[in-house]
């Protein structure tokens, strides 16, 4: 594995289960056992009903592109070789929205509502990132 030079997430006691799940190539988010709400980013209580009865649920990894932008300027030198690159907001089937990158798609073909699925990129021995790729219509 080559040295990863892009910014890395700050792992805390609150978000550690999310990052540990990604390392196992699982997408997990918090779910309230009282009302069933699933959310992101992690919080010590449910943002819908304020219950602290929280668990981590494995998600389908499927969603749709809600919005995206294409960057043509590198705000960090480590992104220079990726230009142009996308940053997308993916709305998961379970409801939460994640900011991510879309992979395996031409930038001109990205569309709102495009069905996508999670893929995992191991960027360091400790950190795996969740990215998304288009879903082939015949595999749905």
pLDDT tens track, the chain, 140 positions = 568 999 999 999 999 999 999 999 999 999 999 999 999 999 999 999 999 999 999 999 999 999 999 999 999 999 999 999 999 999 999 999 999 999 999 999 999 999 999 999 999 999 999 999 999 855 44
If asked whether residues 129 and 101 sit together in one domain, one would say: yes
Measured CA to CA, the distance from residue 128 to residue 36 in angstroms comes to 27
pLDDT at position 32 is 98
Containing H/E element for 118? strand 115-122
If asked whether residues 73 and 97 sit together in one domain, one would say: yes
If asked whether residues 29 and 69 sit together in one domain, one would say: no
If asked whether residues 46 and 93 sit together in one domain, one would say: no
- Bridge partners (DSSP) of residue 130 are 120
- Tell me which residue has tokens 């997408």: 27
The answer to whether residue 85 sits within a structural domain is yes
Instruction: Say how many CA atoms lie within 13 Å of 25 toward its Cβ.
Output: 5
If asked whether residues 24 and 46 sit together in one domain, one would say: yes
If asked whether residues 66 and 86 sit together in one domain, one would say: yes
If asked whether residues 48 and 78 sit together in one domain, one would say: no
If asked whether residues 97 and 55 sit together in one domain, one would say: no
If asked whether residues 131 and 79 sit together in one domain, one would say: yes
pLDDT at position 4 is 92
If asked whether residues 29 and 92 sit together in one domain, one would say: no
- Bridge partners (DSSP) of residue 99 are 89
Domain count for the chain: 2
- Tell me which residue has tokens 């495009």: 114
pLDDT at position 125 is 94
The answer to whether residue 3 sits within a structural domain is no
Give residue 84's domain range: 60-140
CATH number for position 126: 2.40.50
């Amino acid at each position: 594995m080559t040295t990863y030079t892009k910014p890395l997430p700050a792992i805390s006691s609150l978000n550690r289960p999310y990052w540990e799940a990604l390392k196992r190539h699982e997408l997990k988010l918090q779910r309230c056992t009282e009302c069933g709400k699933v959310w992101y980013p992690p919080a010590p209580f449910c943002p819908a009903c304020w219950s602290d009865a929280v668990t981590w649920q494995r998600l389908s990894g499927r969603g749709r592109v809600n919005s995206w932008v294409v960057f043509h300027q590198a705000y960090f030198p480590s992104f220079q070789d990726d230009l142009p690159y996308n940053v997308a907001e993916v709305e998961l089937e379970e409801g939460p929205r994640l900011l991510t990158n879309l992979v395996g798609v031409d930038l001109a073909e990205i569309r709102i509502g495009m069905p996508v699925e999670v893929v995992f990129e191991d960027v360091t021995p400790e950190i795996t990132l969740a990215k998304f790729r288009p879903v082939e219509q015949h595999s749905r």
